[in-house]
Amino acid sequence: MPTTPRLFVSADLSAGRAVALDEEQSNYLLRVLRLGAGDEVRLFNGRDGEWNAALSAAGKKAEVTPVSQLRLQPPPASPALTLLFAPVKKDQTDLIVEKATELGAVRVVPVLTQRTQTRTVRLDRFRKIALEAAEQTERLDLPEIAEVATLDAALAALPPGTAVIFCDEAGDEAGAPWGGEAGRAGPMRAVLNGLAGRDAALLIGPEGGFTGEERAFLRGRASTWAVSLGPRILRAETAAIAAMALWQAVCGDWG
């Protein structure tokens, strides 16, 4: 038996209080999954934990009525992971949003850096991708998809005390002021070992990487650590996924 379908709804969830589903969700349950009255679905809204609910249908519109609570709403993730990323090509950017959701980011911020090619993004599409990924990945909350911001604004908007982990693909250009041993980007795992328990924001650049000016600004910034993700140049989406996975393994909720 495939797992019971999970749906995010915005309504409050309590036993016996029916929730009307929108057309898209009704169509998904009634036509795509071909469910009918009495079938079970699971609901979450980011506030009231997860409930199993009974489906009822009236024509094309479906209603679900919570029956019993399956999981309590956990406290907000702590430490919390924010992903700051420069949008890249559409499919790769969609992948980054989906993987950030699966990898437990609480906030995803599209950041315009000097070499960012994709300057406009569809936040409604990101929010739909994040919602569907949250349903699939069994999260009990949705990541916040923030408005596009410049690098300065995105950094300034971070909660105080957040450790900025700047993934720097060119951390060891010997000739640069930040090159050599003094400014090298440290191996990420070693850097994370010193940041246990701290909220973190991972910063991933665009296809063109960071400019020397951005690198110098970031390396001169308090609460900011430059890290290397190894000797190979990773695509932005690979770097984002690898860095988020490593953070979860060392600092986050992977135990």
In whole angstroms, the minimum distance from the beta carbon of 252 to ligand SAH comes to 19
Task: Kindly state the tokens that stand for 96.
Answer: 């980054």
Going from the C-alpha of 161 to that of each of 79, 106, 201, 205, the distances in angstroms are: 11, 16, 10, 22
63 versus 207: smaller Cβ distance to ligand SAH: 207
What value, to the nearest 5°, has the Cα angle with vertex 35 and ends 33 and 40?
110
Dihedral of CA 238/216/105/22: which sign? Answer: negative
Q: How far apart are CA 182 and CA 200, in angstroms?
A: 23
In whole angstroms, the minimum distance from the beta carbon of 168 to ligand SAH comes to 5
Summarize as ranges the residues that interact with ligand SAH (CB under 6 A): 167-169, 204-205, 207-210, 228-230, 232-234, 236, 239
What are phi and psi for residue 100, nearest 5 degrees? -65, -35
9 versus 204: smaller Cβ distance to ligand SAH: 204
57 versus 164: smaller Cβ distance to ligand SAH: 164
131 versus 170: smaller Cβ distance to ligand SAH: 170
In whole angstroms, the minimum distance from the beta carbon of 227 to ligand SAH comes to 6
Residue 53 and residue 59 in contact, taking contact as beta carbons nearer than 8 Å: no
Q: Which residue is nearest to ligand SAH (CB)?
A: 205
74 versus 230: smaller Cβ distance to ligand SAH: 230
In whole angstroms, the minimum distance from the beta carbon of 95 to ligand SAH comes to 14
Q: What number of other Cβ atoms are within 10 A of residue 65's Cβ? A: 15
In whole angstroms, the minimum distance from the beta carbon of 129 to ligand SAH comes to 20
